[in-house]
Structure 1
């Protein structure tokens, strides 16, 4: 005979067992899903502040001294010989910024007149004025910005994020790079390197796109969906057979995944890329149809144009920023939008005004749009280039400077209206709150719920990671 007490004790244990069994089953199902679909959404190391990233990459090295790092002493000493410890060994005189700075928002953030629209969001921005990187050469610095190091092939930041988090929409790429440069590392900046190929970025080039046109090869016009599915199933059978005969092949697995994703994308991607259903107020907010010379453009799928910014024309970059918003809203995990043309060795005043004029309104529109849709709180927006510019003149421009420069972050758990770090009185070198690219990467991963020391991949006998053996999370900028 069992007593009432024994019965209750065993029942309580049974409930605990049932709860444990349910939890174990849930975890096993999740693990099985991760095996069958490596791009499935994954558990983070800890509670994330952000779920997705938009990286606005300014290729060429935008001048921090003329945008977000106000230097009144440099302006006061304009035209004086450059001190040797400020790069004076290269010749040239100190060059004060020709652009006016003002304080904005409740935070009193200093922003140049070149970013008057972005300045209206000053209280959302966290400006990092103590950035520094290893070399003042475009190719190496741009690769380090994206891959952590430049000496060897490494996965890009977006690939690491996708590897660590998976995607929120398996019918779309988890990582998209819009208008990436062909030089300065080229495809390596959105590549997966030794990670499985399924984690590499999907490149979308603006060349060849015009309003109202569709992206070539996105839809199969010759075969029905059923016929294409049958054809693909046959090809995938051959691919899997080849992989099995090799004892497994990450390259073929990546090929299989890419074919399947391409098939699924045909139904969803055209809708994401079609901005024709956006309201007139939204298009205006991004500066779409606002071209230099006053010529408008009918909104379609994607804007055309050259590699760099046009003087004051916001249409191209506006379309790219709007696409970035539509993509993250649809579940894309990491979107990078690149704008080239920031290498201002000459004609600084006119050229920099044109570059900033092309991106100022679209960036402000993106921040406003994300905010009003409730997306900014868990979308991390990044802005910056591979390095900054020198306080001394190079003709009527500025030279490269890797010792100190500015980047900013917004949304996704970042302190708004906050400045972290500082360069010296002339803006030549980071002297306070120094943040290396490794630290920047570690902080981005941290905001996404990933420990940069635990996010590793075994390759060549080592547990590889984005930050190599370096990097510290910049806790001071986390809200």
Structure 2
């Protein structure tokens, strides 16, 4: 007999043996440990991603992550550095730079002329936080947010830096943060996925976003993020084909599930079970998604709060309002990517318009959640993948300059979900180049997010290829000083 045929039969026998063993009492006991609700008779339908028990009492139930893709300049937003305005045009001292690795865009510059912010800054709230004039709406919610000015990362280019924030590794093929939360906590709503993704784009230079950022990686595919679009079909392939009724669709799914169950019993492949769940979720989403996507029923007060753009599908404002509706409906993790923050040149012109594009809606989301009594249980995050240099990329002129990538220090803000409001955490030097107080690494940030949802980042692990993986890799500590 051909060697390949023999090997094929051996594999079938191994799979049958393993699948048969999986029906034993040991598997039943293991199942009761992994899924505490397995034998509770709570009426859970097949295909639902059940909610799991966290490691400890959570402060937040859900996350809305407003990712500003392309890296906003901290020096024109939340990290006021008047000393830079005094030293415009002077070369960055080598003692400050410390031989830092630079990108290929500025590594060969003859000089590194310092440049302050063209925008003004003022203090707001009880914390006296300095906020750029480019963010007037954010300044009104300063007592509801925590500004962290001391984020730092090793990644110096967009793709690895963005991937690092989302997956805990600079390379691809790792589960994203939303997938980890889906895996660790399950879903709150049987009719919606635990993890959804929304995309929008501003007027600036946009860095790409890719499906690897919301991938399930080596976790079961049921944990992958579901992308919602602004087109006629918010989720592709969700509606019934022309000429098919819901009753007929239900019969087809039942028959397909029966076939998949037969395959699972034969091969024991967990992806078959995941596929059954995905089909069932898609069927239930057919009635839930259209209602959530319909913004016409929102009262005038909400439209005024977010601004008129919230009625334009695909805009940042519309996605912020949609994020609130998804979160309110029990979606565990809503990831919003907004492109356009990559200002290597013409920064004053571009960042002014980019900030205006997001400022009102970002603040409105926090206010809206607070008014609905949802902010305490919803963690809102605003920020990009790294910061911007304190020196100009290329020629510096009076009215024009750009800033290169800067991983050593940058700012984000967080609100709700047990984060201490009205707080400014961390400090950079007077030139805004290095962290000098309370540094927060990307893994520290990730550990803190998981902690607020009741998960110990050192215990949320998955064994793959003989190694135990986790979102924070082998480091990370919870930033307890910013927690209530």
Q: TM-score, normalization: structure 2?
A: 0.84
Q: CA RMSD in A?
A: 2.3
Counterpart-to-counterpart distance in 1, 2:140 and 2:46: 46
Counterpart for residue 3 of structure 2 = none
1:128 aligned onto 2:135: no
CA separation of 1:153 and 1:32: change in aligned 2, threshold 3 A: farther
Shift of 1:217: 3.8
Counterpart-to-counterpart distance in 2, 1:215 and 1:478: 36
Counterpart for residue 138 of structure 1 = 158
> Pairwise mapping of residues 58-69 of structure 1 onto structure 2 (< 5 A)?
58-69=68-79
Counterpart for residue 349 of structure 1 = 348
Counterpart for residue 19 of structure 1 = none
Range that drifts further, 321-330 or 430-439 = 430-439
Range that drifts further, 147-156 or 256-265 = 147-156
CA separation of 1:27 and 1:452: change in aligned 2, threshold 3 A: closer
Counterpart-to-counterpart distance in 1, 2:161 and 2:191: 34
Counterpart for residue 252 of structure 2 = 231
Counterpart for residue 293 of structure 1 = none
SS at match of 1:57: strand
Q: Is this contact kept in 2: 1:131–1:405, CA < 8 A? A: yes
Counterpart for residue 21 of structure 1 = none
Counterpart-to-counterpart distance in 1, 2:200 and 2:180: 18
Q: Is this contact kept in 1: 2:60–2:417, CA < 8 A? A: yes
1:332 aligned onto 2:331: yes
Q: Is this contact kept in 2: 1:95–1:392, CA < 8 A? A: yes
Q: Is this contact kept in 2: 1:180–1:186, CA < 8 A? A: no
> Pairwise mapping of residues 11-410 of structure 1 onto structure 2 (< 5 A)?
30-32=37-39, 39-87=49-97, 90=109, 91-179=111-199, 186-206=210-230, 208=231, 217-220=237-240, 221-246=242-267, 248-289=268-309, 299=311, 303-304=313-314, 316-395=315-394, 396-410=401-415
Shift of 1:366: 0.7
Shift of 1:289: 3.8
CA separation of 1:27 and 1:343: change in aligned 2, threshold 3 A: closer
Shift of 1:411: 0.4
Counterpart-to-counterpart distance in 2, 1:245 and 1:85: 66
Counterpart-to-counterpart distance in 1, 2:406 and 2:304: 36
**Which runs of no fewer than 5 residues in structure 2 stay unpaired?**
1-31, 100-106, 395-400
Q: Is this contact kept in 2: 1:140–1:184, CA < 8 A? A: no
CA separation of 1:426 and 1:57: change in aligned 2, threshold 3 A: same
Counterpart-to-counterpart distance in 1, 2:234 and 2:296: 12
Counterpart-to-counterpart distance in 2, 1:85 and 1:336: 39
SS at match of 1:393: coil
Counterpart-to-counterpart distance in 2, 1:410 and 1:214: 28
Counterpart-to-counterpart distance in 2, 1:162 and 1:268: 19
Shift of 1:214: 6.7
Cα shift readout 1:253-299 (whole Å, capped 9, x = no counterpart): 22211111000001111101111100112112111348xxxxxxxx4
Q: Is this contact kept in 2: 1:129–1:407, CA < 8 A? A: yes
CA separation of 1:222 and 1:168: change in aligned 2, threshold 3 A: same
**Which runs of no fewer than 5 residues in structure 1 stay unpaired?**
1-24, 291-298, 305-315
Counterpart-to-counterpart distance in 1, 2:133 and 2:154: 30
Counterpart-to-counterpart distance in 2, 1:233 and 1:183: 43
Q: Is this contact kept in 2: 1:62–1:343, CA < 8 A? A: yes
> Pairwise mapping of residues 396-475 of structure 1 onto structure 2 (< 5 A)?
396-475=401-480
Counterpart-to-counterpart distance in 1, 2:85 and 2:55: 47
Q: Is this contact kept in 2: 1:173–1:261, CA < 8 A? A: yes
Cα shift readout 1:372-421 (whole Å, capped 9, x = no counterpart): 00000110000101001000001311000001101111000001111111
SS at match of 2:348: helix
Counterpart-to-counterpart distance in 2, 1:176 and 1:454: 24
Counterpart for residue 482 of structure 2 = 477
Cα shift readout 1:44-69 (whole Å, capped 9, x = no counterpart): 10110000000000000110011001
CA separation of 1:150 and 1:28: change in aligned 2, threshold 3 A: closer
SS at match of 1:382: strand
CA separation of 1:28 and 1:388: change in aligned 2, threshold 3 A: closer
CA separation of 1:446 and 1:162: change in aligned 2, threshold 3 A: same
Shift of 1:237: 1.9
Counterpart-to-counterpart distance in 1, 2:271 and 2:427: 45
Q: TM-score, normalization: structure 1?
A: 0.85
Q: Is this contact kept in 1: 2:158–2:207, CA < 8 A? A: no
Count of equivalent residues = 429
Counterpart-to-counterpart distance in 1, 2:385 and 2:281: 32
Counterpart-to-counterpart distance in 2, 1:217 and 1:27: 32
